Structure 1
Amino acid sequence: MGDPALSRRGFLTATAAAGLGMTALSGCGGGSDSGSSGTTTVEWWNISTTEPAKSVWAALAKKFEAQNPKVKIKIVQLENDAYKTKMTALTASGKLPDIFHTWGGGVLQQQVDAGLVKDLTAPTKSWADGLLPVAKQPYLLDGKTYGIPFDIGMVGFWYNKALFKKAGISAPPATWSAFLDAVKKLKAAGVTPLALAGKESWTGMYYWAYLAMRTAGIAALKKANDDKDFTGAGFVEAGQHLKDLVALQPFQKGFLGAAYSSPTGQAASVGNAKAAMELMGQWAPSVEADAGKGIGADLGFFPFPAVEGGQGTVTEVFGGGGGHALRADAPQAAVDFLKFFASETTDVELVKKTSVLPVVPAAESALSDANLKLVQAQLKAATGFQLYLDQAYAPAVGQQVNDSVAGLIAGSKSPQDVTQAITKTAKEEQ
């Protein structure tokens, strides 16, 4: 909700962009004010645009305001792609919101390097030390804390058990060849195997990223970024495996124009039992229920399959979580809000109401959903963890990964084209 949560994405219309531009000018990099009323306004940008998170987060802001009468939380919410586009522009302008969503990694590093992000090491140490270590990892840069997590999780396949049974599939596939066989069986049974939001390039990236992890290995992804060279055989092979999947025409009709969380999009296709699977993060069940109807007990989860002959294993997982960072000169009230949001009381509420995985160890007892428990078990057993590529890498490189993979899925790029385009952008970023 990636993420989570992260749910995540859709470009701004011209009108919306203009409106948000006005918000940014009035609030970012100086929106906190202490006027004659003595009230401090804190602007909070997040991507929780779907229910139940949208309402839960708004209620938490009101609760914080009630506890802090001299603080006003101004919420700005954008879907994922729109958010990333806007934040890229704000980073370039040198003006960030008081509190803003972050996935950590290379994007946060760029903002930190530009001197735009507050070092939270000292002001949060008394309470942040108690948070789940793996959840904090993406926000630790050069040994310092620049973000506070509210979620952690991984991407995997969410599937409809009833549709699998209809197609004669007795168990989730554990290998890529078995996965392709499952896709063929679903199609033969008249079931759409996979839902994909082709309009939003991040959704397709998940396939290529996982296939690269399974073929080249998780260490190769870091080395390729360090060396600025993604043309290795394992990465080309990942693209070929994805091309083989696309050749089976597994996605829903009109997928290239489909959004993620719209009523006719990817999540709704699974939530309305019109598609058997989607490759998505731990936030998927809540978005499926919000965008569609949800399929209840028929919903299951399985990790991305192993690729025969590959360097990676199924215990190496891909994903991340959501966190909050602060602009460099954010007021103390913003730090106080992060502490409030990372408290056991708040985390229990988030776990119970929004299906996030706990970042406060004491909140783990609030986790009741069987599938989310399975995700958590996979995370705990993980032998390797790869952050979302569009966040782990520099922004331009991450965007190129998304766009090139989208081109491969649409049929306009070859597996070699994808690796060459990413490599070219990586070298340009040196």
Structure 2
Amino acid sequence: MQATFLLLLSAVIELQAAPATLTDHLSQAGWQLDKFTQIRPGLTHIAASKRGEDPLKLQLIALEPGQFDGQLKLATATGLYPALTPLPDIAKRHQALAGINGGFFVMQRQDGIPGDPVGAVIVDGMLLSEANGALASVIIGPDDAVDFINEPAISADLQLDHQFWLEFTGINRAAGLVRNCGPTSSTVRHDVTCQQNDELILWQHPPDNFAAEIISAEGGPKRMLCYVILNDRLTRLDPANLPKELPGPMILATGSYIEALKTHIGRNVSIHQAPNLPQNLLSSGPSLIKQGQSADFETQQGWPQGHLPDWIEGQHPRSIIAQTNTGMILLMTIDGRQPGFSTGISIPALKELLLKLKVQNALNLDGGGSSTLWLEDKVINSPSSGAPRAIANAILMLPY
């Protein structure tokens, strides 16, 4: 009996010590602890600050797998896709205990459809956005687990007459406009939109405003044909006269794909998603820490030498998902662009901090005005624009 009690006591002490170790690491890195609160078993909130000429404010939620009785969840902005809405709305819709903004996305109509994510996104087993070709990814779940990987080369295919295969060049996005370019790592450029003449785009659940919002996308191709699958047959529709209610998935073709589909109209076709997909996956970048090591991962992930140097070296708001060498999962924001309160942090300085926190793997999420951290029905960081920005997706901690 005494031995059992001592084992339980040891486990409790170890549980309490794990987040406290983070505060020790922060203190050793020159940060002052402002707040330390255990929200529930396995979930702790830490706030810290740095004073001086370039002050900094940090908010951190630490989750201990196996101790937290909830689950991690990747969520889109709304039930429609793509779409944009602030983190508080996403968190409330899912009754989330905590959450952080997700990956990069199209913001301006000239770059595609606002809310279209950059890189691969899988939610509840459904591929919602194709791979970018260079980013890193994090697998969310099952339960309270994460796995940091290179972005998988995943898309979907169109099978023609049971024998010919065409890979979709895009999923749920405007034809002809590729945010961050790609699809190979050598051509990827962060915050750059490239035009693509030859496109085969799959829209799994076309929105009601499909004709106005997607077909007429600014900067898209001059000629585009639309198709649906009716009774397993490829059926062409007039882009200028689409029905209000679209019968199932929509296929858009431009350039050489128009010719490739011409002889298959009225014939058997089917759509195939890549097999063995994780349930939830988010692509972002750059990688900050891999297997406990720091390197210039950004040069291979959309920020080659000389491209957007201020994005890397400048002091900006940042959002991060990370995992320590003891397995703790961290959701963290560092506020920025607020002189006298928090100036922001550069990517090199952020890597240095994460190494001091004994982080094993870390992925940079969308930062700047998107950086938002939510806990117990409120935003706990200070978004640089004064209010939470509308975003495309979020990583949530659900209390069940």
Indicate the TM-score class for this superposition, using the shorter chain for normalisation: under 0.3
User: Which of structures 1 and 2 has the bigger CA Rg?
Assistant: 2
Higher strand share: 2
Q: Structure 1 length normalisation: TM-score? A: 0.24
Q: Structure 2 length normalisation: TM-score? A: 0.25
